[in-house]
Amino acid sequence: MAKEKAQARREHLARMRAEQKRKERRAALLMWGIGGLVIVVLIALVTVYVIHDRSARSLSAVKTFDYKGADHSWDKVTYKETPPVGGRHNFYWQNCGVYDKPIHNEHGVHSLEHGAVWITYRPDLPKAEVDKLKTFATADYMLLSPYPGLPSKIVVSSWNHQLALNSADDPRLPEFIKKYKQNPTTTPEYGASCSGGVSTTEDQPLPSPEPDVPEGTMPSAAPSS
């Protein structure tokens, strides 16, 4: 009788240990399953973020053109694009920097020919947005000016390349600058200066040719602005 009770206790303990091990295995499997699911979700979230970030910074919307450089003129030029991205331009380039008034297209285009990036914005753009644009335009080979009649709130241009934007916070703006400013393959006069030109605004007349300079010849120095 005692032997039977002892045997029963051993069997009962064995069943309890087996059940405990099954519970531990189920808990471990559940833990690993939840952990694996969390990892899968994290990977999916990171992938979505990376794809979204790349999409947000994509320059696929940049419009391209095919203007040739070195076409200078003293005359007022009618451009097809607003603002222009290339074509005939004045002999004098616009000194790079920040302007609170519109500048002459003919000077701005010449700066593009030298590798500058020109940020233009609607005159009614909020001051906070303009201030953000100014943080980009304080660098070298950057132009910033208001531009009436823009097709969007902000337009950023380089020689033969242009992108319309609706916010100064658009992540494509720094990407555009990084890619096209002083780009040796797209800049007709790569390395040419963006200073030593003129700081004329649109309310001032375009410069006239020097009396002793033959038509079509580059003047020796820029006039004082």
CA distances for 124 relative to 22, 120, 176, angstroms: 72, 12, 23
CA distances (Å), origin 191, targets 112, 141, 185, 197: 12, 10, 12, 15
First to last CA, the chain: 118
- What's the pLDDT score for residue 192? 96
Token pair of 15, please?
């069943």
d(CA 84, CA 101): 17
Tell me how far apart the alpha carbons of residues 221 and 92 are, in angstroms, rounded to a whole number. 9
Residue 17 is predicted with a pLDDT of: 75
| Residue owning tokens 């005939």 | 88
Sign of CA dihedral 199, 79, 155, 112: negative
pLDDT beneath 70: ranges in the chain: 1-6, 8, 11-12, 14, 37-38, 40-56, 210-225
Per-residue confidence (pLDDT) for residue 222, from 0 to 100: 66
Report how far Cα 24 is from the mean position of its chain's Cα atoms. Answer: 55
Instruction: Look at the block and give the residue holding tokens 């206790």.
Output: 9
Q: How far is CA 209 from CA 75, 90, 106, 115, 219, in A?
A: 10, 10, 14, 24, 8
pLDDT at res. 20: 76
Which residue bears the tokens 């990407």? 175
From the DSSP assignment, how many helices (H) and strands (E) are in the chain?
4, 6
Which tokens in the block code for residue 92?
């004098």
Is the pTM value of this prediction over 0.85? no
- What CA–CA distance (Å, rounded) separates 180 from 162? 10
- For residue 73, give every residue at least 6 positions away whose Cβ sits within 8 Å of its Cβ, in sequence order, or none: 88, 89, 90, 91, 106
